[in-house]
Structure 1
């Protein structure tokens, strides 16, 4: 879905993941130039990407499954604590995709989803997403959050290859806007006189 000159397909790996990943993408994100959920969906074997705000069919589909919502909350379990609770093949990681506001909208439209046990990423993580300002410390892109979770659950570094097309995507965007524009708009630097 990118121009041929900016195609990322050769960089996208084909990785086997035991933990099933379900990405619930807000419709506004589908055509976004920096759509990281699509990179995850293309690079993982055991993943599904659904687009929408309302997912009424999903509640019945998930009945009886061990499903975890990757979204911060008061009772959220740090992903590292989940390692000992079940085998990866039994786990389902549900990841809302969109801005924080849009992700909250998905939870609001699907109250049963908000009732699932939650996972958080833990402290001290820094996003590589140099083109978007994070709303707070530890806020990662959808792709980065999935990579962090899967690396924690299934083996450190196993899913780092998913970050290659992500880095290339960011580098291409910076190159297209020009280094000076990037520095001014994203790093807050002012041009030297």
Structure 2
């Protein structure tokens, strides 16, 4: 029988993360587009990000008919967090704007699913793109990164916000994420974790 879940964070009640989820304000607006395959994933970090940021919204689907209206937000400079030939580092993009906060669109899913979201929603492909700086290392530890510098959705959002809204710091958003990871490691057992994931940066 499935364990009862918290309706807010969707974790089992005995591992509820709500007490760790902050309520952070930001000038930037975050729009997370989550592929349906991620919704029931045990390590769903996009939901944690949306819950912890006051100026964030999470939409689930493949085709978002409401996107054109959502992207036309007065007072924001819209951009897509996704690599591309013309993508600019987040800091450089923010500096090039005329003081407007960002409307940051963040696809959530595997790289293949994220590319599918762009393909199915051409309005996304037309947006200016921003990327994270090189050299970042994920704390995920339970998923093998598909490429160097790849971060989970919540880590990527925190990284961008820390850059474009400095000196404000959004690291508190990572507290439920860290607890989520530790809970999964505890559930699988230390030996299983070490056998499958090795010493991939677990903080003791």
Same fold flag (TM > 0.5): yes
CA contact (8 A) 1:41 1:47 kept: yes
Q: Which shifted more, 97-106 or 58-67? A: 58-67
Give the CA deviation at 1:33: 1.0
Over 3 Å counting, the alpha-carbon distance change for 1:89 and 1:122 in structure 2 is same
| Stretches of structure 1 lacking an aligned partner (at least 5 in a row) | none
Runs of 5+ in structure 2 lacking a partner?
A: 1-9
Q: Give the TM-score of the pair, scaled to structure 2.
A: 0.87
Whole-angstrom distance in 1 between the partners of 2:90 and 2:134: 11
Q: Name the structure 2 match of 1:46.
A: 55
CA distance in 1, matches of 2:197, 2:188: 11
> Paired residue for 1:100?
111
Which runs of structure 2 are paired with 1:36-75 in the superposition (5 Å)? 36-63=45-72, 66-75=77-86
Aligned length: 189
Equivalent residue for 2:153, pick from 119, 142, 146: 142
Q: 2:39: which partner in 1? A: 30
Report if aligned partners of 2:94, 2:102 keep a CA contact under 8 Å in 1: no
Instruction: Give the deviation of 1:31 after TM superposition.
Output: 1.2
Give the distance between the partners of 2:18 and 2:139, measured in 1 at CA.
20
Q: Tell whether the 8 Å contact from 1:59 to 1:112 is kept in structure 2 after alignment.
A: yes
2:171 to 160, 166, 189: 160
SS at match of 1:56: coil
Displacement of 1:55 in angstroms is 1.1
Report the aligned-residue RMSD.
1.8
Task: Give CA-to-partner distance per residue, 1:56-90, whole Å, 9 cap, x none.
Answer: 22124424752100001111000111232336654
Q: Report the equivalent of 1:20.
A: 29
CA distance in 2, matches of 1:38, 1:58: 19
> Structure 1 stretch 179-188 or stretch 100-109: which is displaced more?
179-188
Instruction: Give per-residue Cα distances to partners, 1:32-75, cap 9 Å, x unaligned.
Output: 11100000010001001000010122124424752100001111
- Check conservation: 1:22, 1:47, Cα contact below 8 A: yes
